[in-house]
Structure 1
Amino acid sequence: MNGASGRMGYRQHLVRSILAIREQGGVELADGRRVQVEPMLVGRNEEKLAELAKRHGIEHFTTDLDAALADDRWQIYADFLVTKARASAIKKAIAAGKAIYTEKPTAESYADALELAKLAAEAGVKNGVVHDKLYLPGLQKLKRLVDSGFFGRILSVRGEFGYWVFEGDWHPSQRPSWNYRSEDGGGITVDMFPHWSYVLENLFGRVESVYSRAVTHIDHRVDEAGEPYAATADDAAYAIFELEGGVIAQLNSSWTVRVDRDELVQFQVDGTHGSAVAGLFGCKIQPRNATPKPVWNPDLVDEIDYDATWVDVPTNEVFENGFKTQWEDFIRHVVDDAPNHYDFLAGARGMLLAEKGLESSREGRRVDVPEIAVEGAPDSVDAPAEHVAAPSLAL
């Protein structure tokens, strides 16, 4: 686990995923067997790694990535590094024949992301990319509505994501400063468009074109050491995506917006037979036979209580942490050859959408998003035989 001491690597991947899986006795496979996990922490700061290992009862840690990759005990390489350092480390893991699971974006550019997909396919190593938003309770409820035909013909999707990220001067920022420097791989387009790519394509259809405006609203911030710096990356992006089948999606992404909605991300889906509003956890619906009939009249107060005309979708099952659930799915893919559609090629599609979004913003026009494929890796890649079945799994 390379980068497990970082914000996401520690909270979501180590503590809430791998350690939680270990605590529950491993992952259950299709035939009822269970496969247990054993983490190896990799990083630059040996003292910090030792402290983490002691805190959580982890036996193995090292500052030597090459040695860890050369050790046959460790079957999966997991990458939670900053984007700038990711591709080179993943290439080492591919060369070492490891199965690979990584945060997104998989690389700083689409070309590099596509190269990783090609290299993984040629090497025959299984690979996965975090698609955590699809595992959110709200979006799982929304997916069921789509699959059930609730909407009829889907017309449009409108999404709002974001919150106010403090500038760091009078109050410490809640995001790392590199996020606001384009030279360090920062920017909200590169961060969020890969998410929008897989959310849109898995719920509504492939993105065929994008029109976007990426801006830097706040051009100076203060870093973790209290030093001012120029913010060179976009902190907001306003985009229209055209999807296959004629669906129009409008998504605003911003780290410079104050929240006046139920959750930090919210999607409204409108169809001929009904509409839904979904967030991280909640989802509410309004079918066509319960839709109010507003009449525009600015001279009179509108007496309709619009909030009361929506019905909450019940939570009929226990939704676990989405990062943990996807980890379990990927482990089943590695050990049991279970399906996995969230691979390096999906990661490359996300980076392609980010680059097309930035191109659209620079040129002030709608940009087509081509389909891509990698020979030998339509959705997933078969692993070498030695990785297919094992009584335990080492990360």
Structure 2
Amino acid sequence: MKVHTIGIIMNGVTGRMGTNQHLVRSILAIRQQGGVTLPNGDIIMPDPILVGRQEHKVKALAEKHGVTRWSTDLDACLADPANQVYFDSQTTVHRAESIKKAIAAGKDIYCEKPTDTSLEGSLELARLAKQAGVKNGVVQDKLFLPGLLKLKRLIDSGFFGKILSVRMEFGYWVFEGDWQPGQRPSWNYRKEDGGGIIVDMFAHWRYVLDNLFGNVKAISCLGMTHIPERVDEQGERYTATADDAAYATFLLEGDIVVQANSSWAVRVDRDDLLTIQVDGTEGSAVAGLRDCKVQHRVNTPKPVWNPDIENPFAFTEQWVDVPANQIFDNGFKVQWELFLKHLVIDTPFPWDLLEGAKGTQMSDLGLQSWKERQWVDVPDLKL
């Protein structure tokens, strides 16, 4: 048995997502389980070094979780041949510059999305990585959620017949910060800092739609800034310059119509913060983050519109849960394991920087559609 030790520069993991999902529940969890086992019995063992701009934060994070390597000097980390991978979960406006440095240093790249604030920038990163011959990947975590994996199982089985439409509802009320602190950092609501729900969420919707239902061909989008003023982490009021809600329609190949509402100004009256309803000729399903329920054609009730009587149907009781039939691991961790295997034994990893650029393209086109108040076609992307 051989142990393949992979040094990983983890930049920007002092933030909530970087700490919880990437450091604790992915890399440290992989180390605690004894690494990633390869088919021949070899082990891949990630060896993280935490990097951040603020010494007190990165040092405290490392000490809390027993990580021996940490630094505030990214250039020194990139110069160290023991570090093979550069991972980035900084805010979007800082990401591209650091990834370019890492590519120039010959590091393999794994990063959060959006990969840049513009399509041109995201495509440049994909081109640079290809020219340098470094392996690269982008986090596309929602593909590995239990609810979406169950939904994918239904699609692959032909359960739906011909898929007709998809309806996606995402969001929750993010407090304004005055009488309760907001659940999201204030930069999310400043366009100049890379904020906005279109930039944040359309990258997710692109890979979910492309991978589950079919390539996105056109988009119509209306963005809104429903809450014009918020209070930041220092208690100071500021003007929200970015969109906090987006109402979009996507047209997919096969004429599948997708309606997607994304909002940080909505109160939740549904089973989960994200629900995806799929309707087909033979059946329907509603998936959340972890659960999925179905209603087949033969079990579909026959309601008749009659507002003069009480509704005789208990609609929500007429659906059947899709069983798990397996143990679902953390989605971020699952994709990390796949990327590590890709590095060592070159197993397929289709979610690269070009796929990340498609997410940025979707955000750009959503903003364009909103500005022009019209449908916008989605052209194919090539390097």
TM-score (normalised: structure 1): 0.94
- How far the C-alpha of 1:56 sits from its partner, in A, is 1.6
2:380 is equivalent to residue 371 of structure 1:
yes
- How far apart, CA to CA, are the structure 2 residues paired with 1:4 and 1:174? 18
2:86 aligned partner: 77
1:389 aligned partner: none
1:175 aligned partner: 184
Which string of whole-angstrom CA distances, capped at 9 and with x for unpartnered residues, describes residues 42-68 of structure 1? 111222222222222211111100010
2:174 aligned partner: 165
1:246 aligned partner: 255
User: How many pairs does the alignment contain?
Assistant: 374
Q: How does 1:55-74 map to 2 (within 5 A)?
A: 55-74=64-83
Which string of whole-angstrom CA distances, capped at 9 and with x for unpartnered residues, describes residues 119-149 of structure 1? 1011111111110100000000000000010
- How far the C-alpha of 1:305 sits from its partner, in A, is 1.2
- How far apart, CA to CA, are the structure 2 residues paired with 1:30 and 1:212? 46
2:357 is equivalent to residue 333 of structure 1:
no
- How far apart, CA to CA, are the structure 1 residues paired with 2:223 and 2:232? 22
- Match of 2:306, SS? coil
- How far the C-alpha of 1:29 sits from its partner, in A, is 1.6
2:210 aligned partner: 201
Which string of whole-angstrom CA distances, capped at 9 and with x for unpartnered residues, describes residues 224-272 of structure 1? 0000000000000000000011100000000000000010000000000
- How far apart, CA to CA, are the structure 2 residues paired with 1:49 and 1:211? 42
- How far apart, CA to CA, are the structure 2 residues paired with 1:368 and 1:350? 15
Q: How does 1:199-238 map to 2 (within 5 A)?
A: 199-238=208-247
2:319 is equivalent to residue 310 of structure 1:
yes
The structure with higher relative contact order (CA 8 Å, sep 6+) is: 1
Greater Cα shift, 306-315 or 153-162: 306-315
Choose the corresponding residue for 1:358, options 335, 356, 367.
367
1:103 aligned partner: 112
Choose the corresponding residue for 1:267, options 276, 289, 314.
276
1:377 aligned partner: none
- How far apart, CA to CA, are the structure 1 residues paired with 2:292 and 2:272? 11
- Match of 1:37, SS? strand
- Match of 2:83, SS? coil
2:329 aligned partner: 320
- How far the C-alpha of 1:304 sits from its partner, in A, is 1.2
Instruction: For 2:86, give the aligned amino acid.
Output: Y
Instruction: For 1:370, give the aligned amino acid.
Output: P
- How far the C-alpha of 1:190 sits from its partner, in A, is 0.3
Instruction: For 1:127, give the aligned amino acid.
Output: N
- How far the C-alpha of 1:277 sits from its partner, in A, is 0.2
Instruction: For 1:142, give the aligned amino acid.
Output: L
Which string of whole-angstrom CA distances, capped at 9 and with x for unpartnered residues, describes residues 338-363 of structure 1? 10111100110000011101100111
Greater Cα shift, 106-115 or 50-59: 50-59
TM-score (normalised: structure 2): 0.97
2:4 aligned partner: none
- Match of 1:256, SS? coil
Instruction: For 2:135, give the aligned amino acid.
Output: K
- How far apart, CA to CA, are the structure 2 residues paired with 1:305 and 1:176? 40
Give structure 1 stretches of 5+ with no counterpart: 375-395
2:304 is equivalent to residue 295 of structure 1:
yes
- Match of 2:11, SS? coil
Instruction: For 1:286, give the aligned amino acid.
Output: Q
- How far apart, CA to CA, are the structure 1 residues paired with 2:160 and 2:368? 33
- How far apart, CA to CA, are the structure 2 residues paired with 1:219 and 1:352? 26
Choose the corresponding residue for 1:155, options 144, 148, 164.
164
- Match of 1:39, SS? strand
Give structure 2 stretches of 5+ with no counterpart: 1-9
Instruction: For 2:208, give the aligned amino acid.
Output: V
- How far apart, CA to CA, are the structure 1 residues paired with 2:57 and 2:116? 26
2:135 is equivalent to residue 126 of structure 1:
yes
- Match of 1:173, SS? coil
Which string of whole-angstrom CA distances, capped at 9 and with x for unpartnered residues, describes residues 318-373 of structure 1? 10110011100111111110101111001100000111011001111000010112
Moved over 3 A (4+): none
Percent identical residues: 63
- Match of 1:360, SS? helix
Instruction: For 1:343, give the aligned amino acid.
Output: D
